[in-house]
Structure formats: C-alpha cells, structure tokens
Amino acid sequence: MLSVDVDDTIKKLEGMNARKILLQLPDGLKPHAFDYFNALSAKFSVIISSDPFYGACDVGNAEIYRDVDCIVQYGHSEIPNVKYPKPMIFQEARNEARVTMNPDIFDILVTSGFRKIGLLSSIQYMDRMAEARKILEGLGISVIVGRQDSRLAYPGQVLGCNFSSAHSISMDVDAYLIVSTGKFHAIGVQLSTEKEVFLLDLNYLSLQSIRDEKEKFLRKRYAKLSTALDAKKFCVVFDTKIGQYRKKLADVLMKQIKEIGKEGILLSTNEVKPSDYENLRCDAVIFTGCPRVPIDDAERFSMPILTPPEFQSLFGFKKTRNYVMDEIVAVDDLN
Ligand code: SF4
C-alpha cells in the first residue's frame, strides 16, 4: 500500500505562498484523487492532470502548468540535475505495508559465497533497505550502499535509466541485491553490470537471481537488433519531456548515420507512437528519450527501435563486446 504525506505537501505549499497548483498523480495513486483534491483544495486552487506521465522526468505540457505557482508530483523523487520550469514539490510515495522477511530466503547468498553485497532499491521501497541490511549483516555479509550521481536523489537508489549507485561500488562488491517489486529495475541493473543481481521481491517475499533473465533478454534483443543492420532510412527521435531531452545526442547520431552512408531524419516527439514512424516509411528508429521505451515497448513497433548505445555498438562507433545499457546521466537544458 503506497502512501503520501498530504499534510506535508500543504506545509510546503504554504511555505512557498503558492495559490494555484497542478497535481500529477501516477496511476497507482489515482484511486485517491478525490481525497487529495479535497484536502488540497481547502487551501489552494487545484488542477489534477489526468494525463499519464513517466515520472520526475516528465512535468507535462507548458500549456497546462503555465498558470500555476507550483507543480506537485506524487510518487516520485526529484531528479536533482533537471532544471524544472516551475517550483516543484515531489512528495514521494513509500510502501508502508509491514512485511516480515524470512532470513532463510537469503541463504543462497551465503551458499554462493558472497561476502560483500551492494544494496539497492527503487524509490518506493527505500524504507525497507534497513530491514534487508539487518538480515544480511546477521548472516555475516557486509553491506555497501553506493553513492548516486546527480540524477538520483538518494544513495542506493535506482531509476530505470540510471544505475550510478550500483556502478560507484562495482569494484567493492561480489553481487547486488535490489529491494523492489517486479523485475523492471532488477533487469536494468543486471544489464548494466557483470556482477550477479538478486531481486528481493516484496510482493512475493522471495529472493531470486536475475542472471538468467539477462541471458533471455539479450538473446531476444540481439535478434531484434540484427534486423537493423540492413536498415537504410533511420528516424532519430528526441523527446521533449524535460528530464528526457537529449537533443545533442540526437545530433551526434545524425552525424554518425551519415558517416555510415545511411539516410536519417531528425524528429521531436512528446509521446512516442509506432504509427508515427510507420507513416514515415523508415526502416529503424533510434530513440534518445526514456531508455526503457525501446527495451520494454519493442513489440509495439513494426520496425526495430534502438537505444543510442545499441546503434553505436551495432555500427562500430562503440568498441565493446558487451551489451551497453542506455543510461541518462544528464539531459540538455530545455528552458
Ligand atoms: S527517463 Fe524513463 S526510466 Fe528515467 S526516470 Fe524517466 S521514465 Fe523513469
């Protein structure tokens, strides 16, 4: 059960003398929209955006937020190095369900001989890291929490596009353990490291290795990527969402496409839709917005959709035999 502290939002809004606010709610919190609206509108003029949004990388359209004093986003943590166009309040949602972890599920780490574990979490479950640490230390395992870069708000935190908390301790740990639910973030970490990643899934209170998932993913992914080798016409797409805006990278890709004798066109988008590229008769798309779109939504596209490092590895601009996960360290200034 995710919860947010609405009283704290009110205090912060009063502190900044805000009158008009725009509230963004992730789908998981939309069932509480009436409660939030009633509580906040007792003191402020409130509009709730009904548009879906990606996270702290996405504050919606200027037409909507232009006239408000503050954008309040529930459920996500700030991306510290994004220059937001308005004062922002990020009221994080934390999972408060009390769970009892059975220490036996951690035995696999001991029997595998891991002595030093890097502890990670997605934002909703960061409060559970302390419980995991206690159990691991009770088993004689050292726990290290990595320093984040300026795209992340907390040590040990991961986003689907940034695993800097894992990279900063890669030389110091034998394996990683990520506290989360579902495999989304765990597979991302596993794709970005050679060390084994274990998912402590709080839905199932289970611990599982993600290594095989990586192999499965790569087999499928390389099959898809190989179909881009014969592509002649590329669409290079940059996303205008504030925390996904990598136009300079798109410019670099356009030059690289020319260098290999292919044809490219540069496109902007605010919502990447397969039909847009089918109409343009392109053979492949390179997408510089959210790195999870080419990976998680590949099946929606009739043509291969590549991340920038996938394109660069495929056509020899990156000299590596390993798969390179697309991670966002910083974005261009959109303002
Ligand atoms: S770019 Fe994608 S992975 Fe990164 S914060 Fe936005 S939605 Fe999440």
In a domain, 286, yes or no: yes
In a domain, 162, yes or no: yes
Assign residue 267 the CATH number of its domain. Answer: 3.40.50.11860
Percent of the chain topping pLDDT 70: 99
Contacts of 197 (CB under 8 A, 6+ apart): 175, 176, 177, 178, 186, 189, 190, 209, 210, 211
Number of domains in the chain: 3
pLDDT at 5 over 80: yes
Amino acid in position 109: L
pLDDT at 130 over 90: yes
Instruction: Give the pLDDT confidence score for residue 11 in this predicted structure.
Output: 97
Amino acid in position 285: V
Say yes or no: 88 and 107 in one domain.
Answer: no
pTM: 0.94
In a domain, 330, yes or no: no
Question: pLDDT tens-digit profile of 191-204?
Answer: 999 999 999 999 99
In a domain, 88, yes or no: yes
* Confidence band of 99 (pLDDT split at 50, 70, 90): confident
| Domain with 175 in it | 103-215
**Ligand 1 center from residue 178 Cα (angstroms):** 18
Question: pLDDT tens-digit profile of 35-48?
Answer: 999 999 999 999 99
Mark which of 75, 93, 111 sits at the end of a domain. Answer: 93
**Ligand 1 center from residue 161 Cα (angstroms):** 5
Order of strands, edge to edge, in the sheet holding 233-239? 263-269, 233-239, 284-287, 305-306
Say yes or no: 170 and 231 in one domain.
Answer: no
Planar angle of CA 74, 32, 71, nearest 5 degrees: 30
Say yes or no: 292 and 245 in one domain.
Answer: yes
Say yes or no: 203 and 256 in one domain.
Answer: no
Percent of the chain topping pLDDT 90: 88
In a domain, 319, yes or no: no
Assign residue 79 the CATH number of its domain. Answer: 3.40.50.11840
For residues 319 and 293, give the distance between their C-alpha atoms in angstroms, rounded to a whole number: 24
Tokens of 292: 């999870």
Give DSSP secondary structure letters for 278-309.
Answer: HHTT-SEEEE-S-THHHHHSGGG-SS-EE-HH
3-class secondary structure, 310: helix
Mark which of 49, 73, 93 sits at the end of a domain. Answer: 93
* Confidence band of 154 (pLDDT split at 50, 70, 90): very high
pLDDT at 1 over 70: no
Say yes or no: 79 and 7 in one domain.
Answer: yes
Say yes or no: 7 and 80 in one domain.
Answer: yes
Q: Which of 244, 218, 242, 234 is nearest to 267 (CA)?
A: 234
In a domain, 222, yes or no: no
Q: Which residues approach ligand 1 with their CB closer than 6 A?
A: 54-55, 57, 159-161, 243-244, 290, 292, 328
